[in-house]
Amino acid sequence: MSAVIAPVGLCGGALGAVRTNGTRRGATSARALGFKGGEGMGQSASLARRQVAMVGPKVAGRGGAMVTRAVTGPRETRLGSILTTIPQRLDLYFRVRRGRKLLWKIIFAATGFYSANVLSLTFGVLGINDVVAGAFCLAFAEIVTRSFYKKTNPGKYWDFLNWFKLGLCYALITDAFKLGS
């Protein structure tokens, strides 16, 4: 019986998938997608295969299945191992299903829209520092725009930040139309 080496702990059954009797349950394996363990505090985290011992008919509902667990160095904590593998886990998360990226773009745009409405309402009602808040929004939009369009191939993090900026600008423009009418 062989086990799939996959990242552990994120999304339960999707990552860290388990094989039972040669039949795989869960999402696409991380090895097939090119996942490699992360590094942290000078130690490299690796993944190991362990056989769950058969005690009675079933052990914790897995019944002799191969399980993958993270093996860390002597100075690396479990939290350090998780934090150092976040970029690889996010890459795997977006590679498994293509529609997730579009969903997160919409979420970031809606979050930017909400943030701009909160900013305009709080500073507009108080009437204090609304010019400063507008300057910060403008500076944020300019910095994100310059950084995003300067790169030949911006990553998904810059893409999500750009969608947040688009939601922010859209909300500020719609507020300006509401005030103008």
The reply to whether 135 falls in a domain is: yes
The token pair at 43 is: 């130690």
Do 111 and 174 fall into the same domain? yes
pLDDT tens string 70-104: 555 667 788 888 888 888 888 888 888 888 989 99
> Model-level pTM greater than 0.75?
no
The reply to whether 6 falls in a domain is: no
The reply to whether 61 falls in a domain is: yes
Do 102 and 175 fall into the same domain? yes
Cβ neighbours of residue 141 under 8 Å, at least 6 residues apart? 165, 168, 169
Do 105 and 153 fall into the same domain? yes
| Structural domain containing residue 85 | 18-95
The reply to whether 8 falls in a domain is: no
User: What's the rounded mean pLDDT across residues 1-24?
Assistant: 49
Band the pLDDT of 65: cuts 50, 70, 90.
low
Check residue 90 and give its pLDDT. 86
Length of the chain: 181
Do 104 and 76 fall into the same domain? no
| Residue that finishes a domain, picked among 95, 122, 144 | 95
Do 90 and 115 fall into the same domain? no
Give the chain's domain count. 2
Considering 46-60, 115-129, 164-178, the range whose residues carry the highest mean pLDDT is 164-178
Residue 47 has pLDDT above 50, yes or no: no
| Residue that finishes a domain, picked among 35, 61, 95 | 95
| Residue that finishes a domain, picked among 36, 61, 95 | 95
